[in-house]
Structure 1
Amino acid sequence: MGGDHAAATLLTGPGAEQILATALATSHQSLESWTLDAVNARPGAETSAGYDVVADGERMYLVASTVLLTDEQRAASKAVRLSSDIGEVHVWRHPADPFLPGLAPASVPDELAPRLSAATGRTVVIEALDMLVLRPMRRAVLRARTTAEDGRRTWYVKVVRPERSEAMLRRHRMCDLAPLAVDGGDGIVIVREASGVPMTRALHRPDGSDAASIDPHMLLEAMDALPSDALALTPRPAVADRVAEYAAMAIKEGLDDARVQALRSRIEAVLTSVPITPPVPTHGDLHPANVYLDSPTDPTRVVALIDLDTLGPGRAIDDCACMVAHLLVLPALDPTGYVHVPREAARIYEVFSTRHDERELRARVAANVLSLAAGTDDADHAQAWLEVAEAVVDRRTLA
């Protein structure tokens, strides 16, 4: 923990300027200005930071990381190795990445278009390409708006480490509710935009008017339709099984130690008392933004599931808990637009609790809400969601 803190302090504080200036000087460029954009830290592993930089009048994005690189990785990404008070630091310029060789071609329309054309058998022209998510050395997601002889389409370009792309493609190909996914090579997986509308859109009304009513049974039907082949995939720990880790993260981010530990203890007291059941196919991250419905106003069925990276063996109760937890936190994002969501969450929870042990479901919902509080960068949201998690275990909500 101490090393993680020291790395974060260096890469986000005044010392970052010297690191950036020194790295740029190796290519005879002078730093004019810099702004910290994002920090990504893995406990016990590397800490990385991204910066918007201007050097000699040129705008660029640089990444600095405490990651250890081989000579080959350093050469491929043109990373600069520097010494610092915390040890070795590497700096490279986006879109180069030592672990994501597909990031550079995925970030350039003229390089991505031929890959998409080859994968789909159509001549594709990319009209717009936007970066949505960037986690250096881990993953990136871009949105490509395209035209081809069969019309306009939107594709989501996921860039992962090359050894992980086949597993992602396999998950999409085995699930009937998954949108088409094609292989772009070098760890690039390109996923067609799902049909239908996200459940979040069906629930959101900016003017506070009545939202769509979501039939809980259609969500259960979608869960039941997950492929049995998913049982052969590598299992992942459920959020509730990592409640101690999320509690530590929440405290580190500034939430009250005593309250978080009390919440953790109550959740664990329930979870340690429930029987272990055989695994079933699970989505692994089943929240409203990953569920697509046939209508924004009168939905009758789930037409697509997205972000199937977590598909695999697990417990159906965890998919249910994830869904309810994410519903409960939506009002903090837009109190007016999601004013009716607590009602929908309660209805959905009531039906889910007829299929699963209600006491265990409640504990797993609270664990998922705690994980969201631990993971947000917004202090107000973190505090509000800690209160939601406490209300769940206290039975002051979902009653």
Structure 2
Amino acid sequence: MSHTQDGSELLTGPGAGGLLGAAVGNSGGVLHSWQLDHVDHRPGRSTKALYRTQVSWPELDGPQAPAREELFGASAHIGEQEKDLYVAEQTLVMTDGDIDVRVWRYPHDPWLPMLPRVCYPDIVGRTLAELGVHLGPDPSAPIAIDVVSYRPGRRAVLRAAQGGAAVFLKVMQPHRSGEIVDRHHRLLAAGVPVPEVMAHHEGLVVLRELPGRPLSRAVIDEGVDACRGEDLVALLDRLPASMYSVPLRPPWTDSVDFYAGIVASSVPALGPRLDALVREIREGLGSLEQRMDMRPHDVVHGDFYEAQVFVEDGRVVGLLDIDTVGPGRRADDLACLLAHLSVLADYGNAGRIDRAMQERVETAISTWHRTFSERVDPTELALRSAGVVLSLATGPHRQQETAWEAATEAIVRVAEEWVARARRAEAATRERLAQAQAQSQAPLTGQRPVAPATELTPGDDSPTQERRIDQIVQG
């Protein structure tokens, strides 16, 4: 097997066909065609890939049966031992002495042992019944399964519907599910509108469906009328201070070098621009430390973007995917939303959304950006937006989009626009500070400023001391 250090060349190149053919043949099938569908590449460490294939099974379906579509996953790694491997029986491992490749047929992901129990309509009903979950009034009615997302070896989200009722099935590595359930309970107790946990088992969490619809759909249809920017900030401010004690998850901007490396490995021509982006983001955030406290004072969502927020009648009614809630900076969450929306708006330049949709999204970005800039430093907001956009530039290749190289370049350009906005914001801030300093040196009038009357309330649940200070000033 010819390969790069992390297996990416092997799993994304023509050699993957030989691996898949061997795995299919070992199970008694015949591989007719294959196509790379998704790739998770960690440069220098490992690669996971998902393939859509056409396979026939002569022994199972008969020699004349047509081929059917099957999903296969593959993982390649060098050196370090595979972690958190739970079910390896239905996988095939191939090696040349340096690199090991593990191949499996979906849904038998060796890291997600509960996946086979929820992805077949005739099995998921029994699984839910064993957990005490009953969907519709007629248990004999068929259950429809939709795969919302699947990242090999990491997680999957499925929607199970029966009649007019539906639940979401969140599949993960078993050691993580207890923590996720605890987070949902704590946030619900604090009044945060996250989904109710209906049941759980090791590696599976069953969640009640939220009301409303995702902001990702609403903002395309309604633009800024989908919800108010102030309500998005207020939603984040409801995250309880008790979550500040969970382990710190580094912000996206801490990993800009890592994401730039992934993008550069897939599109080497972007290397110089990526280097410049990383340098400006790092130097810009470093300069901010000279004039403001950059420590993580807030409780943050950690992955706050339009698909995670549910809205209804112009109100925010739900919040999804709270796995990453913990200490951080409010600018991280607000930047994450702006970054995702800016990439969505740029789809209009490639004809992926129509002009009217693009204008609605752009208006929402502009309006919400003004609101967010009143809450957090505008330079930090723009720099962190650039960092999140850079992380999104790994998506077109990972998801094997059509014309993924051009799509990657477009996202890098959006990141560059955020860096340019950060420069303008910082220049404006420095000008205001200089004017304020000049005014402070004017002759004193002898008048004393009026002290704020608001006092701190002992035991309040606001996540940060920073917010308490804001409340005092506003009072």
- TM-score bracket, normalised by the shorter chain, equals 0.7 to 0.9
Contact 2:8 2:46 (C-alpha < 8 Å) held by counterparts: no
- The secondary structure found in structure 1 opposite 2:7 is helix
- 2:33, 2:407 → 1: CA distance? 31
Confirm whether residue 78 of structure 1 aligns to residue 90 of structure 2: yes
The answer on whether the counterparts of 1:7 and 1:66 sit within 8 Å (CA) in structure 2 is yes
Q: Structure 1 residue 261 and structure 2 residue 286: aligned?
A: no
How far is 1:75 from its partner? Answer: 6.9
Check the 8 A contact 1:35/1:53 in 2, yes or no.
no
Percentage of identical aligned residues: 34
Give the alignment partner of residue 203 of structure 1, picking from 206, 219, 241.
219
- Per the normalisation by structure 1, the TM-score is 0.87
Quick one: which of 221, 225, 228 aligns to 1:212? 225
2:382 counterpart residue number: 362
Distance 1:193 1:272 in 2: 42
Q: Could you tell which deviates more after superposition, 314-323 or 375-384?
A: 375-384
Q: Structure 2: how far apart are the matches of 1:233 and 1:77?
A: 35
- Among candidates 75, 97, 105, match of residue 65 of structure 1: 75
SS of the counterpart of 2:295?
coil
- The amino acid across from 2:387 in the alignment is A
Give the match for residue 173 of structure 2: 161
Cα deviation 1:185-238 (Å, max 9, x = unaligned) = 230112222112222222213xxx866264211111101111222112222111
Q: CA deviation at 1:74?
A: 8.7
- Displacement of 1:6 in angstroms is 6.2
Q: Secondary structure at the match of 1:262?
A: helix
- Tell me what 1:348 maps to: 368
TM-score (norm 2): 0.74
Task: Give the direction of change, closer, same or farther, for the CA distance of 1:288–1:75 in structure 2 (3 Å limit).
Answer: closer
Partner Cα separation in structure 2 for residue 195 and residue 12 of structure 1: 40
Once the two structures are TM-superposed, the CA of residue 35 in structure 1 deviates from its matched residue by: 3.0
CA distance in 1, matches of 2:235, 2:346: 27
CA distance in 2, matches of 1:321, 1:198: 18
Aligned to 2:102: 90
Residue 318 of structure 1: how far off its partner (Å): 0.5
Deviations 1:314-336 (Å, cap 9, x if unpaired)?
A: 11110111111122111223242
Contact 2:74 2:103 in 1 (8 A): yes
User: After superposition, where does 1:257-336 map in structure 2 within 5 Å?
Assistant: 257-273=271-287, 274=289, 275-295=293-313, 299=314, 301-333=315-347, 334-336=353-355
CA contact 1:204–1:211 (8 Å) conserved in 2: no
> Match of 2:454?
none
Q: Shift in Å at residue 306 of structure 1?
A: 0.7
CA contact under 8 A between 1:240 and 1:367: conserved in structure 2?
A: yes
Distance change (3 Å), C-alpha of 1:167 and 1:276: same
1:12 aligns with 2:12: yes
Q: What are the equivalent positions in structure 2 for 1:1-150 lying under 5 Å apart?
A: 4=4, 7-51=7-51, 52-56=53-57, 57=66, 59=68, 60-67=70-77, 76-84=88-96, 87-122=99-134, 125=139, 127-147=143-163
Partner deviation per Cα, 1:227-267 (whole Å, 9 max, x = no partner): 22211222211111212222222222315222222122111
Gaps spanning 5+ residues in structure 1: where? none
Matched with 1:181 is: 197
Q: Is the 8 A contact 1:391 1:397 kept in 2?
A: no
Q: Distance in 1 between matches of 2:218 and 2:86?
A: 47
- Larger CA deviation: 358-367 vs 217-226: 358-367
> Which structure has the greater CA radius of gyration?
2
CA distance 1:80–1:397, shift in 2 (3 Å): same
Q: How far apart are the structure 2 equivalents of 1:136 and 1:107? A: 14
Alignment of 1:237-248 (within 5 A): 237-248=250-261
Per-residue deviation at 1:102? Answer: 0.4
Cα distance change on mapping 1:146 and 1:229 into 2, 3 Å: farther
Q: Residues 252-294 of structure 1: CA distance to partner in whole angstroms, max 9, x if unpaired? A: 2315222222122111112123233343211111111111112
Residues 33 and 55 of structure 1 are in contact (CA less than 8 Å); yes or no, is this contact kept in structure 2? no
Distance 1:386-1:338 versus aligned 2 partners, 3 A rule: same
Q: 2:359 aligns to what SS in structure 1? A: coil
Superposed displacement of residue 5, structure 1: 5.7
Partner of 1:373: 393
Counterpart code for 2:72: L
State the Cα distance separating 1:155 from its structure 2 match.
1.9
